[in-house]
Structure 1
């Protein structure tokens, strides 16, 4: 299982009631035959109204899927019956179809850190949103956003450190280069849904850190449960689906994704001359050639044409 194996399953055109239920889920649990689980998931999703991505590995399952409530309930129950009875599981909603296809991927890790850790055996202290607020308000706590640079840009917790990583695989190097002299400090970490922190806290403990904490259920759970007036969150939370970002109450935010570079773009940034929908934004205008931009324009025209055809 050295290379990624990805398979697609057909998906229905739209969810019922014109609203998509979005379920984010993961669990670290030993899977004895990941390829077999992948195939049975493929067989299941062929029969229900679902889109999104699920990653299967020997260490568990991870992903975000969307569909009508019946489809979401069906796959949720399937995974419970498979023994995933302690999933971190959250539902939210999208007015538009948030994924183009349904993918079931077979990988070595359900979230790629690139360093062997044991999140089932060695993990930091879980904190609920109220406990989290109390901890990160303390002056002696190092608060680290374990997500990528473009996610940090959309929003983060007040006072959080940006490791400036482009992928999660870069996080171990950040820890060893920037935190090596802070092993006796309190370290609090967070990510979108909690899965990256399962591995990052395990990594820090493995590296000899003494007090490591993380936000249970991640930012999504925090935004779901924390009233805006009590929140220490600033901005929006980037999500890996068509909504781009969500805010308190896990409601869709104002950011749009630049389809050329993937960075979240605010309405103000969309008004800049550098922004061309599907082609460029302030973050990538100088990083692509004119030939590449022409290719993006052709792709965008095809997307618009396809949407008109469906209407």
Structure 2
């Protein structure tokens, strides 16, 4: 049985002292024997950690004792080994880079759709108002090649900073429809949904992202696996390491896997 607990979590919340908080969290995580990445910015926290179960959960509980992080809702999965080589705690300008300072989820979220609600919509083919539902994958193209929702829009972006321009060029295709943005854990689609709404699109975010969908709805309406930025590479709908190779969407054949720098990929995604 897999014995290493992996957690991913993020929260947009105002942090006025990210540099000093970095020191505290680095010391706590190191003392608990954890490995992974914690990103801090004035807009919030984004973390991916792995280790012994009690140590990981204890770290998260201590973090949520701070009122700023009380709403942190980590997603758990298991592995046979720690999928991170070291512990990194960094302060960045954004916990997920979009280069749109006017998009401020820490001031208020876009409306969210639960996995159960989205499942009902997809099963029926329309939302509760009878409108067409469009899924927009906000991830980078190479991630989408591992798997995505059936019929989801894939704009072939190479980094998340390209999403706003892609959204503007496809805005007319989304008019009059109920749009649900999604990503791995929720962080990108939260910013994406806010930006889409600023563009006049009736947009929502999938609460909990793909990993939340897997935990709640399994593999329903999903094709393939979900890329993750750690040594496991991709997870299946049971939140276990996937074994099938990713597929090149253009060529229709397994693509060559290139090991990515997880820090660079997360920050630039």
Name the TM-score class by shorter chain. 0.7 to 0.9
Alignment of 1:124 onto 2:110: yes
Match in the other structure for 2:34: 50
- For residues 15 and 54 of structure 2, the distance between their equivalents in structure 1, rounded to whole angstroms, comes to 26
1:249 correspondence with 2:238: yes
Decide which of 25, 49, 58 is 1:41's aligned counterpart.
25
Aligned mates of 1:49, 1:67 — CA distance in 2? 7
**Which residues of structure 2 form unaligned runs of 5+?**
260-269
Q: Which residue number corresponds to residue 94 of structure 1?
A: 79
Given that 1:25 and 1:88 are in contact with CA atoms closer than 8 Å, whether structure 2 keeps it comes out as: yes
Question: Which of the residues 216, 223, 226 maps onto 2:214?
Answer: 223
Shift of 1:212: 1.1
Alpha-carbon separation, structure 1, partners of 2:7 and 2:117: 25
Change (3 A) 1:207 1:45: same
Equivalent-residue separation in structure 1 for 2:177 and 2:109 (angstroms): 16
Query: Which deviations, in whole Å up to 9, do the C-alpha atoms of 1:166-191 show, x marking residues without a partner?
Result: 11111011011222563433211111
The equivalent residue for 1:187 is: 179
The CA RMSD over aligned residues, in Å, is 2.3
Q: Secondary structure at the match of 1:234?
A: strand
Unaligned stretches of 5+ in structure 1?
Answer: 1-16, 258-262, 270-280, 285-295, 297-311
Aligned partners of 1:27 and 1:86 also within 8 Å = yes
- 8 Å CA contact retained: 1:225, 1:249: no
After the TM superposition, which segments of 4 or more aligned residues of structure 1 sit over 2 Å from their partners? 120-125, 134-139, 180-185, 281-284
Residue 108 (structure 1) aligns with: 93
The 1:92/1:143 distance shift into structure 2, 3 A limit, reads same
Deviation at 1:227, TM superposition (A): 4.1
Aligned residues: 247
- CA deviation map 1:86-142 (0-9, x unaligned): 113111101122011110010011111111202134433212212112234327222
Q: Is the 8 A contact 2:5 2:79 kept in 1?
A: yes
Query: For the Cα contact (< 8 Å) 2:2–2:78, is it kept in 1?
Result: no
TM-score under structure 2 length normalisation: 0.84
1:214 equivalent in alignment to 2:205: yes
Provide the rounded CA distance (Å) in 2 between the counterparts of 1:254 and 1:187. 31
* Aligned counterparts of 2:176 and 2:106: Cα–Cα separation in 1: 23
Of 227, 242, 245 in structure 2, the residue corresponding to residue 238 of structure 1 is 227
CA contact (8 A) 1:145 1:162 kept: yes
Q: Normalized against structure 1, the TM-score is what?
A: 0.74
